[in-house]
Chain A
């Protein structure tokens, strides 16, 4: 055991001195690994970033909220079966709430209607266009992860009265009120004045498609008064226990069939969705991007590994006599095998470390230049890429190291 340790430490010393004395060659060989590791780790950070962004987007939807919509969220192959469905009406929410209240031990807490469309919002000279205007009830805050950065959400009274009040998203506030507080100000939407009650804190985008921050939320009666035509509606239902999602969905399906008055032989003419539906649609896409990306970048690491293998073969060849001498002095097969494995691993590890540093710096500069670009550097990634480097070293060094360990000492000693 002690001998094994001494042999290993000796091998590391040899590896270090080999790298020093063949500096150019080692650098060029390591460059292949550096490029490979940079490519793989950058791909890894991008995949990480996409995953994080995805999870964040999903979190905004809420894992304890289910959505009643006309169309299912998951991709469908038979769209024609859905196109004749009736629209979801905001009144369903009230009916649902009455039924929920009448059901003992209901898995559902509250149903919240939501109607929306895109409009421009103005204040003085400033205008923000393509703003997602949403009409809902004061219960909306129960189904949403949004909180107010400033001011407050509208209360039940304002919700029922349909006062001309609203809560604006972070980007809307930023665009219309660059230098002042929006709370208490009157903004114009479709020529109607709405008093700003609060500003939401920053939410980010949903899968990079649209921003939760360019949103204006107002009481449903007010929304219906001015915008009801052309709006899209859905009903969101908060559930009691997210571990009983399936039961909650079944219960809600039953309630919705009662609302729609569907006879038992008819199919559902609405869809019950939760964030899982998005995941099951998007996960295969995400995974195939990840696999393709890692495969392509992995190829560059593979090329780097071939470089290492090649240089280790050269090293074995030109040090044949040294191998013979070492064997004559008592080095066993294992010793020689280890020596060359450690040399190739040291080279890969060095390349990996440099590559990791380079990709870390690149991540920092990308993050500085493009704050929204999904890129994530993690400890797991560091460990993984170091492991990948070591594995690369071992894999690419094995064939030459094996051939070195099998050399016949007599032939090796005679080699010139």
Chain B
């Protein structure tokens, strides 16, 4: 396939959700300066399913933190739905994370003493949604991931796959612009991992935008587009051949 280029791109896509231009990130670690990102540009459209790959030290995690608005770049520009994220303060970033980004972590990161329902409700509390609506939305999200009958269970009463489903429900509940999954199957056996990837596929087909960060090639294969990072730079940015179904869902 062609390299990313608007004029030649024949694939269907929605509006640009994420646009980063030449971002860099430097850390000072003791005496030396680490250049985690050396100038990365990327454009992600609505309803893309993109995998970010790379060995450790490639800047993959830094890019993910950047995309997830957990961190701001040292230089370069980052527009999220047209808003300049690079210049936002902590609280504005928190707002973006709350409304626009659904996080799925490798270690699930559920609150251990709260039920599934309460875990899924958490982002809604920070969004200032009233208790009844909150519960209704959280319950709906849990049903969507197939855990309608596990709402009152605490994380230690759930299997690994179920925990990750709760985390996915939590990521979905605010109807975010992107779902950012960091090694979502890293702590799961391959069968359960497969189930989680099937769930991701289903979400993609429903119209969600998914960014998958992984170092496993077979997990990355689920995505439609793969970005390889090496030494803080994009090494390759490839699209998978289109599938018939891709046309069906994204047409206006």
Contact = CB atoms under 8 A, between A and B. Distances in A.
Contacts of B170: 329
Contacts of B126: 3, 7, 326, 329-332, 335
A273 B129 CA distance: 71
A325 B167 CA distance: 11
B195 interface: no
A321 interface: yes
A3 B94 contact: no
Interface in B149-181: 170
Given A17-B113, A409-B70, A327 B94 contact: yes
B65 A329 contact: no
A327 B94 CA distance: 7
Interface secondary structure of A, over-half rule: helix
B98 interface: yes
A328 B95 contact: no
Interface in B112-133: 113-114, 122-123, 125-131
A94 B59 CA distance: 107
B105 A413 contact: yes
Interface in A311-345: 321-322, 324-335
Given A322-B111, A328-B70, A413-B109, A333 B123 contact: no
Interface string A402-413: 000000111001
Contacts of A83: none
A55 interface: no
A2 interface: yes
A258 B183 CA distance: 105
A6 interface: yes
A105 interface: no
A10 B125 contact: yes
B183 to A, nearest CB: 13
A331 B94 contact: yes
Contact of B98 (A329, A333, A413): A329
A21 B113 contact: yes
Nearest to B134: A6
Nearest to A328: B103
A110 B95 CA distance: 81
Contact of A334 (B65, B70, B91, B127): B91
A321 B106 CA distance: 13
A154 B229 CA distance: 111
B71 interface: yes
A332 B94 contact: yes
Nearest to B71: A410
Contact of A2 (B99, B103, B130): B130
B128 A3 contact: yes
B73 interface: no
B46 interface: no
Nearest to A409: B70
Contacts of B136: none
Contacts of B232: none
Interface in A215-246: none
Contacts of A4: 128
Contacts of B70: 327-328, 409-410, 413
A266 B96 CA distance: 89
B97 interface: yes
Nearest to B100: A330
A227 B249 CA distance: 118
A52 B97 CA distance: 60
Contact of B94 (A10, A322, A330, A408): A330
A6 B125 contact: yes
Given A6-B128, A322-B111, A334-B91, A329 B122 contact: yes
A254 to B, nearest CB: 76
B111 A328 contact: no
Interface string B54-90: 0000000000010010110000000000000000001
Contacts of B111: 322, 325
A329 B91 contact: no
A328 B97 CA distance: 6
B125 A7 contact: yes
9 contacts: A2-B128, A322-B109, A325-B109, A325-B111, A327-B70, A329-B97, A329-B103, A330-B123, A333-B94
Chain A to chain B: the 3 pairs with minimum beta-carbon distance, closest first: A330-B98, A3-B128, A330-B126
Interface of B: 65, 68, 70-71, 90-91, 94-95, 97-99, 103, 105, 109, 111, 113-114, 122-123, 125-131, 170
Given A6-B129, A17-B113, A21-B113, 13 more contacts: A6-B125, A7-B126, A325-B111, A326-B126, A328-B103, A329-B122, A329-B123, A330-B94, A331-B126, A332-B91, A334-B91, A409-B70, A413-B109
Interface of A: 2-4, 6-7, 10, 17, 21, 321-322, 324-335, 408-410, 413
